[in-house]
Structure 1
Amino acid sequence: YWKQYYQIMQRKGISEEYATREASRRTTLIGALMVKNNDADAMLCGTIANFDIHLRYINEVIGLRKSVSRYATMNVLILPGRTIFVCDTYVNINPNAEEIADITLLAAEEVRRFGVEPNIALLSHSNFGTSKDASAQKMSLAREIIIKRDSTLKVEGEMHGDAALDEKIRQRIFPNAQISGEANLLVMPNLDAANIAFNLMKVTAGEGITVGPILLGSERVVHVLTPTATVRRLVNMSALCSVDAITNR
């Protein structure tokens, strides 16, 4: 494996000595090389160390899918009465409108793989133009870009979180909204908002089942967990990996 890693990285400042050392001790790197060589169908990593370290090895060895310009992550909270998808929880720190659109389209594709039709809310501190702040305008512009790229998607925003999850509130504020019922895919304006919101929901939801982070955009089936991942989440993600690996063969 070290020879292959060296071939990939030799023009990026990596020596044979470094490649030999890293490919013998970095489990995520080893796993990524196994997946690339079809010695493994999928990979779960991330229970130790920072997310960015694992994503770096994945990007170096496996890379992005064709026609995809960036990675993103999505977490899922399955509750007795609803299922909520939240993005981008770990990768893009402060995406612009075009990047928000990329993230949303990747997430919507994955939501459909769960057998759910995405009902998308682009969240903000602003409700349908009440603020001209750059962050609010970014989310509004992202909606326009998304619609141009996939007119079949049900997407609305920018809006508050309560308007996304409560149709009565949304109808009172903006009766001409292009989504109905509860939004199930919540797209946040930045990583802070997504990560904080999901972790708060996860803790306060009680008996809800959490899935993720689901890595979006990778060429192969690989996902980066977090050090707080429970055994149950590992089992859930293993099942997701298995289904994805079979589907992608």
Structure 2
Amino acid sequence: RVLRAVQVIVDEKLANPILIGRPAVIEHRIERFGLRLRGGVDFTVVNPENDPRFRDYSETYFKMMARQGITPQYAKLEMRRRTTLIGAMLLSKGEADGMVCGTVSTTAAHLRYIDQVLGGTNEVYAAMNGLVLPGRQIFLVDTHVNVDPTACQLAEITIMAAEELKRFGIEPKVALVSHSNFGTSEAPSARKMRDTLAILRERAPELEVDGEMHGDSALDPKLREQLVPDGTLIGEANLLVCPNIDAANIAYNLLKVAAGNNVAIGPILLGVKAPVHILTPSATVRRIVNMTALVVVDAAA
């Protein structure tokens, strides 16, 4: 999938791809899949087994991590076996403009090295997924990073996600979704969503947001108006903020499959200082291409 995506990226002139992997394996797979890619012409290869830059990279990584139990020997080992770490170092050194990773392993495993080398713009990272459905666009957070975020973290995640939607040219309409519908439950997760709303009212008073509410209330403004005529969310919500990773991830994957052949966007990694996104092992060729295009826009900005 990655190499097929690279072929599309090259054909559409989206970017100059840098592949991190063993050259012999890459060439074998290009031949096996009948692709037209030419190493050194259509893409550049960073060989994790042998690159003259790795001495500098491992020394830099050791300096970053010396107070976190990393020895010089371990830094060298990590630099030759962790492709995401190599990619993050390429960005740190200014030798790449962005990175897409994650088709193998877990979000947490990739985020570890991204955080170590590149760092964040806020105190929390988050992942946002989007779906282009018939008649509507829906984005959900946090689908992959925070297992059970606090109200303060959810408020920060909401603000980051809303800013990302604005960069897409979409005016964010935020619903804080829950099993509780405007005070029908006093469960901890319901109170957390109400606390999130209170924090957002203070920190982002211009944001169109309301909650806590059921999923159908978020997408059906007539139903919502019957419940709360003085609500502060107008029309259909396009950004659903979930109380935990279970709710967000399950909702996204159910919608993605039930909606059929519609466009899935993401995961979009929020809160990193560089244009980086962590995909999932289920990412299609088109999603890899779409996320590469997003990275290009991020880097240009």
TM-score with structure 1 setting the length: 0.97
Please, which of 160, 176, 183 is the counterpart of residue 230 of structure 2?
176
Is 1:146 aligned with 2:200? yes
Q: Are residue 20 (structure 1) and residue 76 (structure 2) matched? A: yes
**Take 1:32 and 1:52, find their aligned partners in 2: how far apart are those partners?**
15
Corresponding residue to 1:52 among 108, 123, 136: 108
Unmatched runs of 5 consecutive residues or more in structure 1: none
Partner of 2:120: 64
Flag the structure with more relative contact order, 1 or 2, with Cα contacts below 8 A and sequence separation at least 6.
1
Amino acid at match of 1:49: S
Q: Which residue of 1 aligns with 2:90?
A: 34
Show structure 2 runs of 5+ residues with no match. 1-56
Counterpart of 2:177 in structure 1 is 123
1:161 is aligned to 215
Aligned to 1:228: 282
- Is the CA contact 1:221–1:245 (under 8 Å) kept in the aligned structure 2? yes
Residue 202 of structure 1 aligns to a residue whose secondary structure is helix
Cα deviations across residues 140-164 of structure 1 (Å, max 9, x unaligned)?
A: 1101101100111000000000000
The one-letter code of the counterpart of 2:70 is I
Identity of aligned residues (%): 55
| Corresponding position: 1:206 with 2:255 | no
Tell me, yes or no, if the aligned pair for 1:79 and 1:207 is still in contact at 8 Å.
Answer: no
- Provide the rounded CA distance (Å) in 2 between the counterparts of 1:12 and 1:244: 31
Q: AA paired with 2:85? A: L
The one-letter amino acid paired with 2:248 is: A
- Counterpart of 2:299 in structure 1: which amino acid? A
Name the CA distance, whole Å, in 2 between partners of 1:70 and 1:135.
19
2:130 aligned residue: 76
Q: Which residue of 2 aligns with 1:195?
A: 249
1:121 Cα deviation (Å)? Answer: 0.1
Runs of 4+ aligned residues of structure 1 deviating over 3 Å after TM superposition are: none
> What's the TM-score once normalised by structure 2's chain length?
0.80
Task: Give the length in aligned residue pairs.
Answer: 245
Deviation readout 1:108-146 (Å, 9 max, x if unpaired) = 111111100100000001111111111111101101101
Q: Is 1:219 paired with 2:273?
A: yes
Bigger-Rg structure (1/2)? 2
What's the offset of the Cα at 1:51? 1.1
Match of 2:266, SS state, is: strand
